[in-house]
Amino acid sequence: MNVASGLICCSTFKELSHVKSVEAKQQPFRGLAFFADSMHGSLARKLRIFGMDTAYSSSITDEHILNYCSIQRRILLTSDKELFKRSLKKRIGSVHLQGLTDKANMVKIFAECNIKNILYDSASARCPICNLELEKKEKKELGDLYNIIPPKSYLLNSHFYQCKGCKKVYWEGSHKAALDSLAESINQELYTISCIPN
C-alpha cells in the first residue's frame, strides 16, 4: 500500500480519529482499522486484500457494533443511515456509504480518511476470510499444503502467502492484474477529488 507519511484524519468529525500513517512499504495503514457492517462483506474482503484491518460480522447487533467500534477504535463503514447517526452521537468515527459498488465505496472511504493513493501489494495483504496478516512462505516451507495448490500455480510461483490464523494459502495469480487495475482506477478518482476546491 502506498500512503504518504504524516497525519491523516478519518471520520465525518475530522477531529475524532487522528491516526499516524507511515511509509507504505514499512507498515501500511498502521493505526487505521475499520468495521464493515453486515451489508458490506464484499467490501470488507477487498479492503483486507489491500492491507486494511477490516473487521466484519453478518450476525452482530447494531449496539454491539457501536460498542466494538468504540472499544477497538475502529471506523464504522455503513450504509445504514440510522446506525450512522447513532455512531456520530457516540462520537465514533464513521463513513456513511452510499455507493452502488465496492469501488465507489472504497473511493468514499479513502477520500474521507485522506488516503491519497493505494497500491496492491501481496506482502501487505490481509486474509480476506479472517482479516489476519499473511506470512510469506517459500515452496519448501509449505509441506503437505502443496497438495491444495493447483499444479500450474505451484510451478509458476516461487513463494506463497499463508494466513497466520486460518492457514489458508494464497499466491499471486491472474487476479493481480485486476487488483492493480482497480487500485489505478481508485487512485485516478482520488486525484480528481483532491483537485476539487473545498
Residues 108-151 have pLDDT tens digits of: 999 999 899 999 999 999 999 999 999 999 988 888 877 888 98
* pTM for this model (two decimals): 0.82
Task: Choose between 114 and 10: higher pLDDT.
Answer: 114
Distance CA 81, CA 78 (A): 8
Residues 83 and 158 reside in one and the same domain: no
Residues 145-176: tens digit of each pLDDT: 778 889 899 889 999 999 999 999 999 988 99
Contact predicate 68/90, CB 8 Å = no
Distance CA 107, CA 98 (A): 11
What does the mean pLDDT of the chain come to?
A: 85
183 lies in a domain?
Answer: no
Residues 102 and 145 reside in one and the same domain: no
Residue ranges making up the domain that contains 159: 134-170
pLDDT band at 198 (very low <50, low <70, confident <90, very high): low
* Total count of domains within the chain: 2
Please say if the pLDDT value at position 30 is more than 70: no
Residues 95 and 150 reside in one and the same domain: no
185 lies in a domain?
Answer: no
Residues near 19 by Cβ (< 8 Å), separated by ≥ 6?
A: 8, 10, 30, 31, 32
Average pLDDT for residues 53-64, to the nearest whole number?
A: 96
pLDDT at 104: 97
